[in-house]
């Protein structure tokens, strides 16, 4: 397993925890995390379907969506992978600047999606452990 700081940006995650305002059970932040899990799981299903259909436009939208919610929790690796999926879905390289072919984009998204799921599982395990879920 990676170092905690590789999984979660604690500067961002700690800001979320501050919203619990002394609630020992951390219900507010825990609720956000549970909602994130549900969103991420459904987004991965949608990404798999879009990849199978070679729907790059939808993959870009889904990457953008999951990038935002991952960033809000400080899940840096997941956020970065999703940003790259967003770019490749728009037929751009991982910098978002240079054009790539559909074939290259699909190949890169296939690899990125596998890495994203792996890093998501690692982050989810960390968060479940943190919240004793």
Q: What is the mean pLDDT of the chain?
A: 95
Q: What is the pLDDT of residues 78-106, one digit of tens each?
A: 999 999 999 999 999 999 999 999 999 99
pTM of the model: 0.93
**Total length of the chain:** 133
| Four-residue CA torsion sign, 62, 67, 68, 74 | positive
Which has the closest alpha carbon to 87: 116, 62, 70, 69?
62
- Please report the pLDDT score of residue 23 as a whole number: 86
Domains of the chain as residue ranges with CATH: 4-17+24-130 (1.20.120.160)
């Amino acid at each position: 397993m990676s170092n905690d700081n590789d999984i979660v940006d604690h500067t961002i995650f700690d800001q979320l925890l501050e919203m619990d305002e002394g609630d020992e059970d951390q219900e507010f932040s825990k609720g956000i995390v549970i909602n994130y899990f549900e969103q991420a799981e459904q987004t991965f299903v949608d990404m798999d379907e879009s990849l199978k259909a070679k729907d790059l436009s939808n993959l870009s939208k889904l990457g953008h969506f999951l990038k935002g919610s991952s960033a809000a929790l400080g899940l840096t690796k997941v956020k970065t992978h999703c940003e790259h999926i967003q770019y490749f879905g728009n037929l751009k390289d991982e910098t978002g600047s240079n054009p790539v072919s559909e074939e290259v984009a699909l190949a890169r998204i296939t690899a990125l999606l596998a890495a994203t799921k792996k890093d998501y599982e690692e982050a989810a395990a960390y968060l479940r452990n943190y919240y004793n879920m």
